[in-house]
Amino acid sequence: MAQGSKKAVLYAICVNAIITVLKGIAALVTHSAAMMNEAVHSLMDTLNQVFLLIGLTRGGRPADREYAFGHGQKKYLWNLWSAIGLFSIGCGLGLAHAWHAWHNLGHIERPEAIAVLGLEIAPIWISAVVLVIAFILEGYVLLVAGREFLSRMRAEGIRNPFRYLANADDPTLIAVLLEDSIAVTGVILAATGIGMTQSTGNPMWDIGFSVLIALMLGFTAIFLGKINMRYLTSVRDHDAERTFQDIVRSHSEIERYHDLRSVIVDETHTVVVAEVELREEVLMRHMRERIATHERELLERVPEHRRTQAVLEYAETRATIQATLEATEQLIDSLEAELKKRCPQVFHLTIEIDGIAAPSKLDDPGQLEAIS
């Protein structure tokens, strides 16, 4: 998963860095508010994706003495900083520039032609070329992120992309996909604003669409912040909990479970905790054979002339305890293996044996038959 996300992020960084420079130059020579906000938009995208790359790199470190379950949550922290910080700054800068452009509307002289390599070119054509290049490059990055997104969605058996977008377990990929979608939308809005200003001669179209681009950044910050906050507040893994419930119901050794809880550390690490009560009549099946086997193995270590009554009693008690622990450990290992097989994201399962649920009627022939 991380490799697919890192590939999408690296593509996005390279493309957005190039587009930022092109849009910035076009904004300076054409005095377009929409183009300037698009340059700010691309700059924030580039810085944000650098933050995402840092989060992926640091979050991919394995467990160590300080971080028992790895560094995965650092990814969400870097994503949160980039979403709330950079996109909020981008929104603020965009709105400030739009206000400045509106405030100085009558004082800005827009050039009728710009000299490029000895040729006089109308500003609209410079804007058009830059926006077409931006649309092609950002469209390609969106295609890369979209393919990764759809492949994971199909792998998880989900058909509704909007549902998967809201609940996906990899906020980095969601961030790249959302940013690229908004980047393409921003190019369309900028082109519309510049085109309307060119056709009507009214620069308010350019300023109005620049405001829309800035507001998009603000809404993106809120949405991405909400997604990453979810994974920094001990969110439960409901899929793992439901799977554990199904597994428990299929094991006749367990009477009931209590206090089932889980926490998602990151998309590849979930911790599950539960308490269970065991059924006496099922747990005691084949227990006599287990005890006899362990008792025989213990006594084989003692010479026959030293097998006093005290030694025999010790061997019997030790064998009983060992057989009980062995049966319990086998049950716990079975639950853990089955849960991890069905939910690979489960990294650790802790089960506390809350006791043995004794049969309600010991004189019930069915219960006595099960015990025997």
| Residues 248 and 225 placed together within one structural domain of the fold | no
Domain range for 78 = 2-230
DSSP secondary structure string for all residues of 156-222: TT---HHHHHHH-S-HHHHHHHHHHHHHHHHHHHHHHHHHHHHHH--THHHHHHHHHHHHHHHHHHH
| Residues 245 and 218 placed together within one structural domain of the fold | no
**pLDDT profile of the chain (372 residues), mean per 10:** 63 84 85 79 81 79 74 76 73 80 66 59 79 87 81 79 71 75 86 86 84 84 77 78 92 86 82 87 76 88 86 88 86 90 89 70 44 40
Q: What is the CATH number of the domain that holds 263?
A: 3.30.70.1350
The total of other beta-carbon atoms located within 10 Å of residue 233's CB is 10
Q: For residues 34 and 190, give the distance between their C-alpha atoms in angstroms, rounded to a whole number.
A: 5
Buried b (16+ CB within 10 A) or exposed e, 72-105: bbbbbbbbbbbbbbbbbbbbebbbebbeebeeee
The angle at the Cα of 358, spanning 353 to 363, to the nearest 5 degrees, equals 165
| Residues 167 and 277 placed together within one structural domain of the fold | no
Contact 190, 132 (CB under 8 A): no
Predicted pLDDT at 306 = 85
Residue finishing a domain among 230, 255, 282 = 230
Predicted pLDDT at 367 = 43
| Residues 216 and 346 placed together within one structural domain of the fold | no
3-state helix, strand, coil split of the chain in percent (to 5) is 70, 10, 20
Predicted pLDDT at 370 = 44
Q: What is the CATH number of the domain that holds 178?
A: 1.20.1510
Residue finishing a domain among 209, 230, 251 = 230
| Residues 243 and 365 placed together within one structural domain of the fold | yes
Close Cβ partners of 349 (under 8 Å, ≥ 6 residues apart): 271, 272, 273, 274, 335, 336, 339, 340
| Residues 267 and 155 placed together within one structural domain of the fold | no
| Residues 191 and 57 placed together within one structural domain of the fold | yes
Number of domains in the chain: 2
Nearest to 113 by CA among 104, 124, 127, 129: 124
Predicted pLDDT at 244 = 93
Contact 267, 345 (CB under 8 A): yes
| Residues 224 and 254 placed together within one structural domain of the fold | no
| Residues 38 and 136 placed together within one structural domain of the fold | yes
Q: For residues 130 and 333, give the distance between their C-alpha atoms in angstroms, rounded to a whole number.
A: 61
Residue finishing a domain among 183, 209, 230 = 230
Predicted pLDDT at 372 = 39
User: Which amino acid is present at 262?
Assistant: S
| Residues 6 and 27 placed together within one structural domain of the fold | yes
| Residues 202 and 326 placed together within one structural domain of the fold | no
| Residues 148 and 264 placed together within one structural domain of the fold | no
Buried b (16+ CB within 10 A) or exposed e, 137-147: bbeebbebbbe
Question: Going by DSSP bridges, is the β-strand pair 269-279/346-357 parallel, antiparallel, or unpaired?
Answer: parallel
